[in-house]
Amino acid sequence: MSQSPLLEVRHLRVEFPTRRGTLLALDDVSFSIAPGEILGVVGESGAGKSLTGSAIIGLLEPPGRIAAGEICLDGRRIDNLSQSEMRRVRGRQIGAIFQDPLTSLNPLYTIGHQLVETIRTHLPLSGVQARERAIDLLRQTGIPAPEARIDQYPHQFSGGMRQRVVIALALAAEPRLIVADEPTTALDVSIQAQIIALLRRLAREHGAAVMLVTHDMGVIAETCDRVAVMYAGRVVEIGPVQQVIHHPAHPYTQGLMGSIPAMDDDRERLAQIDGAMPRLNAIPPGCAFNPRCGQVMPRCMRERPDLMEAQATRAACWLHDAGAVA
């Protein structure tokens, strides 16, 4: 996209100090998202997807800390803000949607109370105006009879409806960036499709940048403009979603795509990636994927590749190093 990025993550490094030494959880993660663009972040459990989102919204669990790199929102650096400054950014400029809506909603207050409080914290509206906006948000997110339901409590909503309320909360102050962490995992397929359509509409109509964290490639294919594939705390491939799905350049991405069943596929068995992702305290030297890679070369054991041009995407793999021979 020709627009300048709304979010820029540069060389992000997140560490967890422990008694036995420091665990490196995110290592040199860089990407950007333009206004109106949806970037999918995909990978196995433990790859660092959710941690990247938490670092961006300033909600890293202690003792986790950003040890290096920068996070810039609309040209302004936000990773070095104080907690009170970050609280003002969160909600007003960054909306967060989490996997479990119950962690985002207070069971003691009505949906309307929580929405109105959030709106009035960030926008200069009266109580009446804020309530009107809350009802409108519930309507936008597909909640029927919002005028009646606004005065109900979270336990009176189904899981899918609660997730819509969480999305309404995330949108309450018209944020420029939305970080959505597995927003559709607990939902059935029809509700999932509606939530995906809603996220796409937000990006298109409101020019919001969306970072969508998921392990579901179907959701990525349906929703995103670009996709970043993570492995062991690093981005191993990033590019336009159709290119990454149909012409993956990194052996790990190839394995991920090969493990997805297709409707017109008559294979007896799906491809699988042998082994498991390394623990944070046992990441191998060189390319972290080398113990599981079928195309491993001696160089992969020694040197860690950075992202490099690989056809239409960028991949961190020595197979694409045009100027070298293994």
Residue-wise pLDDT for 123-174, tens only, equals 999 999 999 999 999 998 889 999 999 999 999 998 889 988 998 999 898 8
Residues in contact with 64: Cβ distance below 8 Å, sequence separation at least 6, in sequence order: 14, 15, 16, 25, 51, 54
Of 140, 191, 136, which Cα lies nearest the Cα of 163?
Answer: 191
Residue 25: pLDDT band (50, 70, 90) is very high
According to the model, what pLDDT value does residue 326 have?
43
Give the Cα separation of 17 and 19 in Å (integer).
7
According to the model, what pLDDT value does residue 71 have?
98
According to the model, what pLDDT value does residue 1 have?
43
Q: Out of 120-124, 168-172, 181-185, 298-302, which region has the weakest mean confidence (pLDDT)?
A: 181-185
Give the Cα separation of 229 and 83 in Å (integer).
30
Q: Give the dihedral of Cα atoms 51, 52, 58, 60; nearest 10 deg.
A: 20
Give the Cα separation of 231 and 208 in Å (integer).
27
User: Is the pLDDT assigned to residue 276 strictly greater than 80?
Assistant: yes
Domains, the chain, in order of start with CATH, read 7-93+179-269 (3.40.50.300), 101-174 (no CATH)
Q: Contact 311/304 with Cβ under 8 angstroms?
A: no
Angle at 28 between CA 243 and CA 229, to 5 degrees: 25
Place of tokens 């938490």: 54
